[in-house]
Structure 1
Amino acid sequence: MKLPEVHESPEMLYRMCFASIRSKLLIAAIELKVFDHLSEPRTVEQVAESIQGHTENTMLLLNGLAACDLVSKKNGLYRNLPIAQTFLVEGSPTSLGEGLLQQAVMSERMLANLPQMVLNGSPGSVENEAGDSEAQWAQNAIWMANHERSGVAQQMAQLVAEIPEFPAFRKMLDLGGGPGIFGIAMVKRHPSMQGVVFDRGPVVAVAERVIREYTLERRMTVLAGDYNTDAIGYGYDLIWASSTLNFAQHNLDAVMKKIHSALNPGGVFINLSEGLTDEGTKPDFYVLCTLGWTMNNPMKAFDQGEIAEAMLAAGFNTVRSRTLNVGWGQMDLDIARKA
């Protein structure tokens, strides 16, 4: 019997099988606040003492984090690498730890019965299990603020400031704006533009606090409601939306027309969303991160071009689309102009 001829490497399969160890290391280190103690070089004994941990297992955890390129190890001393120092130290305005913990819990819950869901379909929405309450919405907005100001809000504000209409804008709406970081970044780029953050009641309460933190009370206000059913205001020169129109998928045409009507003549609507390509198989980040949600809920990820088509159907004169690299992968930016 001859040995089989093999022309492929199984490395990818092994890496997929053990990929969960990387995420478990990250989540454990966040929960134990390990990164808070590594802004300066520390021995394993010092770290173990700080977290009240078992010395040898603390070393194994730290070595794993070094293997994941989150910390460095040199001459027995561990220290945060720049990515961990920027995004994983608690209390930093760009700390993503709390949000990553929430996402991990949600993903684990949604995919806990993946084989059964594939065979039998979803047992029903897990939204309420995740805490669809005012307190949960407000908490999500708090960690979302750090997520947005970890680079993407600055990137989008720069792009918006470069469009030719920007200097003449007088009033903008951050639709479904959460903590309002995108709106804040754009208002700060303009010498006089006023801004409104629209979202659910408990969320705009967070946005009000964030607006005060950035001392923009005289230039920014909030408006509470559900944009599927409530008025969103009028007289805007710019409406911005980011990763929010998924909540309007059952009502997208009506919401898009509402956005069109709320703009002044010559106004601009800019939307940042995922856009699935390759028959729904790419970009890999959005295919994977929305898998559990889509299996458990009617809400799904947008296909590339879906938002642009809805913009044109609502009466926008022109739509310009482009794909951008943001902090977690590729997203589509659609810029619609009203005649």
Structure 2
Amino acid sequence: MRMDFQTEHPLQPLWRLAAIPLQSQALEQALAQRLFDQLREPASAQAVAERLGLHAGACAVWLELLWSMDLLDRQHANHAQGDDLFASSALAQRYFLTDAADYCAQAWQYRQQALSGLASQWPQWLAKGSVAMTAPPGSWAQAARVQIGQEQRAITVPAMAHLLAQLGPLPATGRLLDLGGGPGHIGMALAQQLPHWQGLVCDEPATAAVAAENIAKAGLQGRMAAQGCDVQQQDYGQGYDLIWCSSVLHFLPDPAQAVRGMWQALKPGGLLLLAHAERPDDPAMAACVWPFYAGLVLRGHYLPRPGDIAQHMAAAGFGQIRALGRLDFPMAPVWLHAGRKPV
């Protein structure tokens, strides 16, 4: 008689949820020990333990756990070879080797620490509805310089390149605005794809200074600039042919007014691209969004419902409004909407 052990218990997803802190700490320790650099070439748990000064038995369990997370590859040993060998997986090599082009270790640690801190405050949130949260001066600019910069380069820019390929041809010349652009890598990627365009990155002043440094490093200062601005006050100029704005409306007291400001800043015929996370109606998709935006909403910020962005655009006067689909951005997916200012 054949026995079927494939049926999953209804509690299994919640048991896996309980295991996440252990997995998270395993990765945290791997980054702290620079394990993935150590395992560019296969090595046994015993060799890793000796190299890093760790307990051999605990190290073996740690490597098995990381292998189960697809962060290590494992080569089974035979009796002649001795212990199993472990090496950094393709995923770890791409994002966690210290010299990788898409290095994201500090970005992951930044998100992990923020979410862990938020999780520890649930009793206070539920009892009081709010918790005092203050960021040290310059913290957003520092995140833009390091962690957010890593995410933009490794994740957001490739998604943007994929988007451009689907948009169709744009004019040979024009002016673009990366509004709330943080370290500026998205605006820079747009400028590199549009070699005869001029561009501007706008964000709060300290963060705009980081963008200006990145523009200079990329050799784009002849066509790109960065300036401090207040998105809500629409002090970023006019006459743009293309405005890109992602994950900005969440933080504004009046998102509808901000979209009207973007309409005013565009030339007739100009294109607005808005990319923001939304409150999905599908629970599986909502599970990809809410863990990362719950804290934002608890602090009184805006998470649009499906259809809200298109309504803001229509109310501001945009035409040819269309949903371009979902983009895989850092942490949670965003939904991209396009609209044109009528000629």
TM-score (norm 2): 0.88
Partners of 1:280 and 1:338 lie apart in 2 by 35
In structure 2, relative to structure 1, the CA distance for the partners of 1:284 and 1:157 (3 Å cut) is: same
Counterpart residue number, 1:275: 278
Tell me which stretches of 4 or more aligned residues in structure 1 moved more than 4 Å.
none
Counterparts of 1:232-311 in structure 2, within 5 Å, are 232-248=236-252, 250-278=253-281, 282-295=285-298, 297-311=299-313
AA at the equivalent of 2:328: V
Moved more, 104-113 or 36-45: 36-45
Partners of 2:15 and 2:200 lie apart in 1 by 49
Counterpart residue number, 1:214: 218
Give 1:217 shift.
1.6
Counterparts of 1:88-167 in structure 2, within 5 Å, are 88-118=96-126, 120-126=127-133, 128=134, 131-164=135-168, 166-167=170-171
Aligned-residue CA RMSD (Å): 2.3
Counterparts of 1:194-233 in structure 2, within 5 Å, are 194-233=198-237
AA at the equivalent of 2:308: E
Give 1:234 shift.
1.4
AA at the equivalent of 1:287: W
Partners of 2:53 and 2:207 lie apart in 1 by 36
Answer yes or no: is the 8 Å Cα contact 2:172–2:194 preserved in 1: no
Give 1:247 shift.
1.2
- Percent of pairs with identical residues: 25
Residues 252-296 of structure 1: CA deviation (Å, up to 9, x unaligned):
12211111111111000101111222178733121111123322x
Answer yes or no: is the 8 Å Cα contact 1:280–1:303 preserved in 2: no
Answer yes or no: is the 8 Å Cα contact 2:274–2:338 preserved in 1: yes
Q: Say if 2:329 is the partner of 1:330.
A: no
SS in 1 for 2:94: helix
Give 1:162 shift.
4.0
SS in 2 for 1:218: coil
Moved more, 163-172 or 298-307: 163-172
AA at the equivalent of 1:86: R
AA at the equivalent of 1:51: L
Counterpart residue number, 1:34: 35
In structure 2, relative to structure 1, the CA distance for the partners of 1:161 and 1:315 (3 Å cut) is: same
Partners of 1:333 and 1:234 lie apart in 2 by 23
Partners of 1:52 and 1:230 lie apart in 2 by 56
Give 1:37 shift.
1.4
Give 1:305 shift.
1.8
In structure 2, relative to structure 1, the CA distance for the partners of 1:91 and 1:204 (3 Å cut) is: farther
Counterparts of 1:175-186 in structure 2, within 5 Å, are 175-186=179-190
Unaligned runs of 5+ in 2: 1-6, 78-83
Answer yes or no: is the 8 Å Cα contact 1:170–1:236 preserved in 2: yes
Partners of 2:166 and 2:12 lie apart in 1 by 44
TM-score (norm 1): 0.89
Counterpart residue number, 1:71: 72
Unaligned runs of 5+ in 1: 1-5
Length, aligned pairs only: 328
Identify which of 294, 313, 316 aligns with 2:318.
316
Give 1:167 shift.
2.9
Give 1:142 shift.
2.2
Residues 9-45 of structure 1: CA deviation (Å, up to 9, x unaligned):
3322222222322222122222222222122222324
